[in-house]
Structure 1
Amino acid sequence: MTEPAKELTAKEIKKRKRRQPPPDPTPLPGLVDAHTHLAACGGRSEEDVRAILDHAESVGVEQVVTVADDMVDARWAVAAAHWDQRAFAAVGLHPTHAADLDDAAKAELEEMAADPRVVAIGETGLDYYWTTRSDDCADPSVQREAFAWHIDLAKRSGKPLMIHNREADRDLLDVLAAEGAPATVIMHCFSGTPEIARECVDLGYVLSFSGTVTFNNSTELREAAHLTPDELILVETDAPFLTPHPYRGQPNQSYCIPYTARALAQVRGVSDEQMADTLGSNARKLYSLPLR
């Protein structure tokens, strides 16, 4: 005799839902995912990368920039950018891994930066959140030294600098000012206040918004998105993290970008199509991506 199916608890239902990817959004052509992590999304082979990018392209996300956290991921990012013409790479050491920036790492990153499939240096910057929460996180002084080196590499390579900033607004902007910012600075996953947004905009820095701009508690972030000029705004997933509302906590991938792009369109009072055109055009220009 077959036993009756066990009724799931509310906690089990929630846990099961969090493992499910969001449904496909209505396609919105012309978009570029300005910052994703293909390897962390399962893209560790040419076949897997192709599948992720096929899925993204089916809803209008035509190109992606895949980003490294450490040296292993940097190698994966460059490989992925050569596996599929829709993928491009950003290389650098995440500030939490800044202590790994020895002479060998510097030499390898410089070699990677010369690769035409590498379109940005980063993500680099400052992360003070993890300094008190992880024994493995680099000390702030080490982070600042590594950040300065990445700034110099961006200037020498002529490629955009991709910034990671977590709870370090003032120090991060001060380091950029002291070192002299490169021509293009991209504030990945911008999470600052409207005041910091205005300061960045006044300096000509690009603000890239992720799914966090759609969260119910992100009123100030939406204000920042509203005040950002058309020419200084990007959209990203930071996948597999930061899935947009109402799918927060579920697995994120580049195909989810239209959800965030539409949210930005609503915040900025423009049509979805106009927003997609602005976001895609900006990414292609800033990263010097070829037209598709």
Structure 2
Amino acid sequence: MDFHCHLDLYPNARDVYAQAQERNEFTWLVTTSPRAFTATSRVLGGSDKVLITPGLHPEIVGARHAELDMLLEQIRQVKAVGEVGLDGSKRFQASYDVQRSVFIAVVAQCAALGGRVLSIHSRQAVKDVLAVLHDHPGYGTAVLHWFTGTTTELNAAIAQDCWFSIGPAAFNSAAGQALAKKLPRDRVVPESDGPFAQVDGASVMPWSAGHTAQMLGKVWDVTPADAMHILESNSRRLLGLIRAQG
């Protein structure tokens, strides 16, 4: 399974989509904007094995925030939302206030509709992400994608019942490995974040869960098979939460 993939943005998206349907039991295709969601849904279509969800990536909120109303309407029709969230890195500081207003509106809409499962970007913005979630009880379930916060922020996210999606590229650094070791083993699911995430210069593919299990096995001090069993069990639970929404 893959719980965070930009499958539509691979250079050969149709081929990768077809392979994902063959290789994966489930792939969560997160889109970067409401218009992208509409186009991807039309071109690739959804299936029982590929879930396409609407989002508004914080990195492009500055240019695309006018699509917010479209996103809020799309959220009515789906069980999950992503990619959404906040990016507090220096490169996107100019749009941070707009990012925050968009994210608040998205989470509030999810709460008003009875809850959704959200794939959330939280780079250098974990505290604010968690504050928005805390302020909107009933929003659903948060899956923090490629979490890179501090240990204190991780513990705060765990206390708020967040889930975490992680892929092979998260292990490229010693810091990433150290953080992966601390993730709650009952709330971790695999992701690829392809085609953006890379390992050894190549884009991570949607069927990378086995690689993720190998890396988690090392930091958790369990066998790859045991790590895969944990990921599969968690994935089925999270998939159940997604299917129960809406």
Classify the TM-score, shorter chain: 0.7 to 0.9
**Are the structure 2 counterparts of residues 222 and 195 from structure 1 closer, same or farther at C-alpha, using a change threshold of 3 Å?**
farther
**Are the structure 2 counterparts of residues 274 and 175 from structure 1 closer, same or farther at C-alpha, using a change threshold of 3 Å?**
same
Q: Deviations over 1:64-86 (max 9, x none)?
A: 10001112321244347744431
1:231 and 2:211 are equivalent in the alignment? no
Aligned residue for 2:35?
A: 72
Aligned residue for 1:41?
A: 10
What amino acid maps onto 1:146 in structure 2? V
Aligned residue for 1:87?
A: 50
The CA distance in 2 between the partners of 1:89 and 1:148, in whole Å, is: 22
CA RMSD of aligned residues (A): 2.5
Aligned residue for 2:205?
A: 253
Q: Deviations over 1:201-227 (max 9, x none)?
A: 121111211223321x333x3233222
TM-score by length of 2: 0.84
Query: How far off is 1:44 after superposition?
Result: 4.6
Q: Deviations over 1:241-260 (max 9, x none)?
A: 2234xx2x212211233212
The CA distance in 1 between the partners of 2:29 and 2:103, in whole Å, is: 20
The structure 1 segments of at least 4 consecutive aligned residues displaced by more than 6 Å after TM superposition are: none
Equivalent of residue 189 in structure 1, options 146, 149, 158: 146
Structure 1 contact 80–87 (Cα < 8 Å) conserved: no
Q: Percent identity of the aligned residues?
A: 24
The CA distance in 1 between the partners of 2:134 and 2:39, in whole Å, is: 32
1:98 and 2:67 are equivalent in the alignment? no
Structure 2 contact 86–123 (Cα < 8 Å) conserved: yes
My pick for the range that moved more, 81-90 or 259-268, is: 81-90
Gaps spanning 5+ residues in structure 1: where? 1-31, 133-137
**Are the structure 2 counterparts of residues 179 and 85 from structure 1 closer, same or farther at C-alpha, using a change threshold of 3 Å?**
closer
Structure 1 contact 239–252 (Cα < 8 Å) conserved: yes
Q: Which has the larger radius of gyration?
A: 1
Structure 2 contact 86–103 (Cα < 8 Å) conserved: yes
Query: How far off is 1:162 after superposition?
Result: 1.6
What amino acid maps onto 2:88 in structure 1? Y
Aligned residue for 1:113?
A: 75
Structure 2 contact 46–52 (Cα < 8 Å) conserved: no
1:146 and 2:115 are equivalent in the alignment? no
TM-score by length of 1: 0.72
The CA distance in 2 between the partners of 1:119 and 1:262, in whole Å, is: 31
What amino acid maps onto 1:42 in structure 2? P
SS in 1 for 2:139: coil
1:271 and 2:227 are equivalent in the alignment? no
Aligned residue for 1:51?
A: 19
Query: How far off is 1:40 after superposition?
Result: 0.8
Aligned residues: 239
The CA distance in 1 between the partners of 2:31 and 2:42, in whole Å, is: 11
